[in-house]
């Protein structure tokens, strides 16, 4: 059946096409590009619509919607977090997202975002570390070697100049997988048998574990002066990774305080505990690291503006190539008031 002029076709980036796009651009280059896009959007932070994400919690996980708009373009992401999925052979985090034109409300692009979330999370972490980590940091401990881990490692290599990666996971098979995937990527890899061994000599500690509980991946005595902690895995009420005493010794940097106070490591602290917004460090409105002995902590939970930046970046890369398919997802009759007639005409056509 032909489909005469009643469709506004929407570009759709499938998982296959996202992988092709990532391979075409190069994974480290793409995360460096994303970090630049996210940083540019953090510089114009005040003009975005902002809201903590809309979360629907269950005993086993969470499903969330993450919307934002810069007044010209609107974006949202659907994302889940189910730590128990791994045991069923499923991803802990999956996502897709949409960009729309604020002037018409018409969608501009629909995209897979499971891969894009891993890329943007790692790009945001490395961007934050660029501003907060001790100068000249070359060694990172990577605790939690699951789906996000390689992305984190390569973003820190590309953006912060990390050369040595010390890996630890409670499941040695995860560390083996991570080391295998990162072989020949120009990183010196050191698989470790304990978190204590992993953090030895590391100027940056990334925690990226998944467990729906108040976990203690790092205890206070493990964290020495001057390190930067990139805490990625604590991103949900009742799901944290760091002992509270570490927080009390750290300069804490966050994305959007109203969301991080609900979801981040700082859910363990009183609501008035001082935190610094990362965008203000980037614009110069607030100070980043104060001295070489300060512990800096990026309490990452993932914010809608990072997804917006990532979606816009992907959208800008869809011209004159085949990294997308056109989706027939918006009914758009020639006469905008004749939606009903459009169905009748389709029926008449199919009867011929
Ligand atoms: P994953 O399930 O693929 O990997 C998690 C790994 O953590 C597993 O290999 C598991 O064995 C390990 N682990 C669990 N408990 C541990 C412990 N006590 N010590 C060491 N390792 C431990 O999950 P993923 O997709 O890699 O995501 C990791 C975490 O990051 C999740 O909690 C997820 O919700 C979070 N996340 C945060 C953001 C953000 O923006 N902040 C974005 C994406 C994912």
Which sequence positions are flagged as catalytic? 235
Helix (H, G, I), strand (E, B) or coil at 139: strand
Asked if 96 contacts 110 with a C-beta cutoff of 8 angstroms, the reply is yes
Strand order of the β-sheet with 54-57 is 54-57, 62-69, 73-81, 95-101, 107-112, 10-13, 325-327
Q: Is 86 in the pocket of ligand 1 (CB under 6 A)?
A: yes
CA torsion 158→116→37→151, rounded to 10°? -20
pLDDT tens for the chain, 352 residues: list them: 344 445 689 999 999 999 999 999 999 999 999 999 999 999 999 999 999 999 999 999 999 999 999 999 999 999 999 999 989 999 999 999 999 999 999 999 999 999 999 999 999 999 999 999 999 999 999 999 999 999 999 999 999 999 999 999 999 999 999 999 999 999 999 999 999 999 999 999 999 998 878 889 999 999 999 999 999 999 899 999 999 999 999 999 999 999 999 999 999 999 999 999 999 999 999 999 999 999 999 999 999 999 999 999 999 999 999 999 999 999 999 899 999 999 999 999 999 8
Partner residues linked to 11 by β-bridges: 326
d(CA 150, CA 178): 6
pLDDT value for 7: 63
Length of the chain: 352
Q: Kindly give the distance from the C-alpha atom of residue 108 to the centroid of ligand 1, in angstroms, as a whole number.
A: 32
- Angle (nearest 5°) at CA 98 between 95 and 104: 165
Burial of 220 (0-12, 13-18, 19+ CB in 10 A): middle
Burial of 214 (0-12, 13-18, 19+ CB in 10 A): middle
d(CA 146, CA 313): 26
Asked if 195 contacts 168 with a C-beta cutoff of 8 angstroms, the reply is yes
Q: Kindly give the distance from the C-alpha atom of residue 244 to the centroid of ligand 1, in angstroms, as a whole number.
A: 19
Asked if 94 contacts 114 with a C-beta cutoff of 8 angstroms, the reply is yes
Partner residues linked to 276 by β-bridges: 253
Ordered domains of the chain (ranges, CATH): 6-115+306-339 (3.30.1780.10), 122-303 (3.40.50.720)
Nearest to residue 51, comparing CAs of 345, 325, 308, 326? Answer: 308
Helix (H) or strand (E) holding 276: strand 276-277
Helix (H, G, I), strand (E, B) or coil at 191: strand
Nearest to residue 38, comparing CAs of 272, 304, 275, 229? Answer: 304
d(CA 92, CA 70): 30
d(CA 194, CA 242): 16
Q: Is 119 in the pocket of ligand 1 (CB under 6 A)?
A: no
The best mutation among 208, 236, 267, 309 to test binding of ligand 1, ranked by most ligand atoms within 8 Å of the C-beta, falls on: 208
Q: Kindly give the distance from the C-alpha atom of residue 284 to the centroid of ligand 1, in angstroms, as a whole number.
A: 32
């Amino acid at each position: 059946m032909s489909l005469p002029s009643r469709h506004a076709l929407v570009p759709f980036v499938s998982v296959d096409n996202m992988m092709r796009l990532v391979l075409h651009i190069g994974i480290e280059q793409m995360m460096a590009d994303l970090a630049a896009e996210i940083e540019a959007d953090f510089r114009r932070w005040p003009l975005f619509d902002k809201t903590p994400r809309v979360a629907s919690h269950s005993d086993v996980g969470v499903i969330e919607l993450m919307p934002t708009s810069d007044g010209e373009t609107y974006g949202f992401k659907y994302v889940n977090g189910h730590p128990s999925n791994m045991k069923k052979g499923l991803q802990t985090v999956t996502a897709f997202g949409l960009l729309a034109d604020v002037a018409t409300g018409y969608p501009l692009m629909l995209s897979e975002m499971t891969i894009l979330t891993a890329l943007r999370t790692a790009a945001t972490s490395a961007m934050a570390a660029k501003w907060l980590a001790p100068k000249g940091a070359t060694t990172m401990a990577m605790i939690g070697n699951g789906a996000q881990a390689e992305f984190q490692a390569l973003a820190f290599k590309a953006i912060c100049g990390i050369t040595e990666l010390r890996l630890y996971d409670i499941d040695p098979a995860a560390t083996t997988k991570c080391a295998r995937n990162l072989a020949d990527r120009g990183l010196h890899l050191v698989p470790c048998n304990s978190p204590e061994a992993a953090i030895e000599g590391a100027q940056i500690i990334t925690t990226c574990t998944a467990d729906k509980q108040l976990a203690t991946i790092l205890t206070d005595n493990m964290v020495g002066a001057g390190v930067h902690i990139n805490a990625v895995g604590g991103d949900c009420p009742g799901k944290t990774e760091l002992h509270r005493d570490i927080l009390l010794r750290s300069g804490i940097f966050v994305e959007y305080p109203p969301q991080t106070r609900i979801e981040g490591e700082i859910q363990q602290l009183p609501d008035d505990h001082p935190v610094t917004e990362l965008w203000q460090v980037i614009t110069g409105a607030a100070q980043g690291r104060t001295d070489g002995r300060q512990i800096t902590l990026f309490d990452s939970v993932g914010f809608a503006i990072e997804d917006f930046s990532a979606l816009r970046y992907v959208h800008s890369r869809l011209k004159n190539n085949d990294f997308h398919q056109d989706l027939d997802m918006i009914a758009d009759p020639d006469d905008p008031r004749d939606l009903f007639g459009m169905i009748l005409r389709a029926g008449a056509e199919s009867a011929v």
